[in-house]
Structure 1
Amino acid sequence: MQIAYRARDITEAHIVAGLLNAHGIETFVGGHYLQGAMGEIGAAGFSNVHVDDDDLYTARQLIMEYEASSRSPVTMENRDDKPDSYARWFLLVMAVLGLIWLNL
């Protein structure tokens, strides 16, 4: 068996394994016990999706298609670099309180 996909967490590994299983590729998801050793912290990098050697190329092609389709186009509404509105309000309130404190 070969590692076809290194997932961020166990949930993502099972999603990819389900995709491959739906296309007739038998999978094994490894890393359940390693992730549990980290406790409640969301451990990353311990979950892998394994496939047979003969299915490796097909599995990686399907995974590449999955990753390409899961990316959404960046628009002005869903940009990741947009500051959070709560942070803006917090900074504004802190600035006003700082000015009030300096004037006393």
Structure 2
Amino acid sequence: MKIIFKANDIIEAHIVAGMLQSYGIEAHVGGHYLQGAVGDLAPLGIANILVSDADVVQAEQIIAEYQDGASSSEPDDPLLLPEPG
């Protein structure tokens, strides 16, 4: 397992992990219990996403596109396709 992404918070970590899982990559979110350790402060940078060594290259490409805001390689979803016309 390798850490491939350090999220700003637990919510972003789960969003990115879900995105990776939609591509068939098993992703694990770490840092859940660290959030409680900081009390009322905003816990930033403590949530990590881990993937298996075999999925690192593909996961890094997907995350790079996420960070660039590109959506051209989303999985095929008929709800996301433009309407014919």
Q: Secondary structure at the match of 1:29?
A: strand
Give the partner amino acid of 2:2.
Q
Equivalent residue number for residue 35 of structure 1: 35
Higher helix share: 1
Match of 2:8 in 1: 8
Distance 2:40 2:49 in 1: 22
CA distance in 1, matches of 2:36, 2:12: 15
Deviation at 1:40, TM superposition (A): 2.6
Matched, 1:56 2:53: no
TM-score scaled by structure 1? 0.64
Supply the AA of the counterpart residue of 1:61. Q
Bigger-Rg structure (1/2): 1
CA distance in 1, matches of 2:24, 2:40: 34
1:24: how far off?
0.2
User: How many aligned positions are there?
Assistant: 70
The structure 1 segments of at least 4 consecutive aligned residues displaced by more than 6 Å after TM superposition are none
- Find the aligned partners of 1:35 and 1:56 in 2 and give their Cα distance: 26
Tell me the TM-score normalised to structure 2 length.
Answer: 0.78
SS in 2 for 1:44: coil
In structure 2, distance between residues paired with 1:26 and 1:36: 25
Query: Corresponding residue for 2:26?
Result: 26
SS in 1 for 2:68: helix
Aligned residue type for 1:24: G
